Amino acid sequence: MTTPILVWVPTFTLFGILIALGVIEWGSLPIPTWLRFGVGLPLIVAGNVVVWSEAAKFGFAQTGGAKGTLRTSGIYRYSRNPQYVADIAMIVGWTVLCASPGAALISFAGIAVLIAAPFAEEPWLKKQYGSAFEDYRATVRRFL
């Protein structure tokens, strides 16, 4: 039970802070409206589609760190961490859309954590799935 708490509480806290700062400082940065809505909004939508569809396929327990099966099909054929890539897309999208300096600052920290997370997970994946994970890791990129 501890792992889901360690995963979901920081995740929702990060997104909550980003949303709050974005709303409070809405439009403070000089980003053109066409860019904000033309790039930011599609990144948010695409990121959500990927994250929530994959979370539904995994189940929320496994998405939160519980042992399950090694997924190598679907979007996982192209990226070992598509949910992290999608989370990064959502963060970048929100930062562009809200044009908030505070959200931009917090976004850098959030993205750094999302980039670092797979490096912490990979030893656990190797221990859990052994050669199946090693074979997968040898053929599929970490991010894109």
Give residue-wise pLDDT tens across range 10-33.
888 988 999 999 999 999 999 999
* Residue 79: band (very low, low, confident or very high) from pLDDT cuts 50, 70, 90: very high
Instruction: Please give the pLDDT value at position 56.
Output: 82
Nearest-angstrom CA–CA distance, 103 and 98: 8
Instruction: Please give the pLDDT value at position 73.
Output: 87
Please state the pTM of the whole predicted model. Answer: 0.87
Residue 116 has pLDDT above 60, yes or no: yes
Among 74, 79, 98, 83, CA closest to 51:
83
The mean pLDDT value of the chain amounts to 90
Instruction: Please give the pLDDT value at position 60.
Output: 61
